[in-house]
Amino acid sequence: MKKKLISIVSLACASALAVSLVGCGKDDDGQKNPVATSYVSLDINPSIELILDGEDNVMSVRGTNEDGQVLLYNEQGIIGEDVDDAVEKITKLAVDMGYLAEDNKVVGTSVSSNSDKNADRILTEINATVKSSANEVGLTVTTNAEGAYSLVRKYEEFKAKYPNNAEIQALTITEFKLAYSASESGEITVEAAVKLDQDKLIQMISESHDKAEEYTTTAFAKARETAQAIYDVAVGTLEDGLYAKHYLSAQNMPNHLSTCWYGSAYQAYKSLSRGLNGTADAIKYVEDMSSYELSEEQTQSVLTALNLTAEDVDLIKNSDGKVTVESVEAYADKLFKNSESGEALTAMKQELTTALRDVEGQLAVIVKELVEEHEQEITDMLTTAEGIINLIPNIGLTDALTTFKADFSEIVGQMKTAISGGTITSYEVRDIAKGMEEKAAQMLTKIEADLSEEELASVEAEKEKLGTQLATLKATMDNAINKAETTAKARLNELKNQRLQDLPA
């Protein structure tokens, strides 16, 4: 379904023009840039989400599970296209690759937009496009907005966790879907996301799309973040202390008796920020119970809930031949949406939900143990930061230095309390890291105002002397990321080719 351009021929069209510009921003040159205004989710298994601008053109697309990434890999004709054309392309790809077939003829759809009216219009259009596109290749499909089993399970458990929160209890499945998608970036919790308006959440998802490539599998993202964290910490070890070194030198300290602590404060905050961000990334993957391989006993409980036998276990395995919560849900999503409603189906859903809840309870114990190992990393970072602060001489102890030391001690104390009080989450660690980065930036501003141009040039000269070491560190990081990229691309290509080869003749 193509949109037709509207010619503005009278002042009566001015309001329509104003509405159309809501989906545009301007860059530094005053040029119009598209602004994300709508979020579209297609749950075929593959699961795919699209971000649209104010003209309903696709700004970005992402496969939110492995099948979604396999379907989209190396495909053109989606980004930049009208949403109807993009959905038509995706639907036909799903049919061609055997995802949409006689045993899977239901597509879950949902839309969030800058207005309910706009969301309803887009949803009606994409539902029609999905049906007509499948019909063109001889397949009759249906659409629904009920939400896949995996999503509904998360939705119901989230609401059950906060029975007395009226706002959470009033959440629709579509609203939860949007908030949950935003939380998958690892930058915000679902609890925080549900408090934000739709426009903000759509923008956050759009930004997370911008940071990802089509080959950004979980394995690639983990490898990239690990390489980046190692690089950042290594660079920090070389660079973060240069200001402290400058201030505390015998030659320079006499000129900065009241501010000689600036460099050490900057180093402590910056080093903590770097280290904590790396730890947050590591904890994020530890927390993801959906990818943990299930034990034989756990697998059997799932098979029993689904009325399957041990011989059927391949049905609930992922592409790596492992049974995980994610692979079980992928099977259940397809099974349940294509099954006839009734008491038997309801009972099976309940049994599976109970089995998965028990499995996740057992996995939570493992997660806690793994996170505790990272908590020791945080404790070590705090000890190092305290050591840096203790190097600050108490010469001419000023109110500002006294305040800083008290502030820093309070922060360290809060962090230690958070760790000792129970398992700390990646979100908590990342929030602390952001706070440290902000304080480091504040200290750097003070440093740049305090040091003369000659002194700042001297510090920059010291940085330049690190050129060879920094270049080596950068090359190591780039090599690791390039290797992970090659592996991810090869894996997606392999899965796509295998998918096509396994199709019936």
Q: Which two tokens stand for residue 130?
A: 């999905």
| pLDDT for the residue numbered 467 | 92
User: Contact 276/436 with Cβ under 8 angstroms?
Assistant: yes
402 — pLDDT class (breaks 50, 70, 90): confident
> pLDDT tens across 281-299, in order?
999 999 999 999 999 999 9
User: Using CA atoms, how far apart are residues 270 and 266, in angstroms rounded to an integer?
Assistant: 6
Residues contacting residue 277 through CB under 8 Å, at least 6 positions apart: 229, 232, 430, 433
What residue type is assigned to position 490 of the chain? Answer: A
User: Contact 137/92 with Cβ under 8 angstroms?
Assistant: yes
397 — pLDDT class (breaks 50, 70, 90): low
384 — pLDDT class (breaks 50, 70, 90): confident
User: Using CA atoms, how far apart are residues 416 and 408, in angstroms rounded to an integer?
Assistant: 12
Question: β-strands 58-63, 142-144: how paired?
Answer: unpaired
- Start-to-end CA span in the chain (Å): 32
> pLDDT tens across 74-118, in order?
999 999 999 999 999 999 999 999 999 999 999 999 999 999 999
Q: Which two tokens stand for residue 86?
A: 């993009």
Which run of H or of E encompasses 49? strand 47-52
User: Using CA atoms, how far apart are residues 352 and 302, in angstroms rounded to an integer?
Assistant: 6
> pLDDT tens across 29-73, in order?
555 678 999 999 999 999 999 999 999 999 999 999 999 999 999
Q: Which SS3 state, helix, strand or coil, does residue 269 take?
A: helix
Least confident of 18-27, 392-401, 495-504: 18-27
Q: Which two tokens stand for residue 291?
A: 């990818």
Per-residue pLDDT at 25 exceeds 80: no
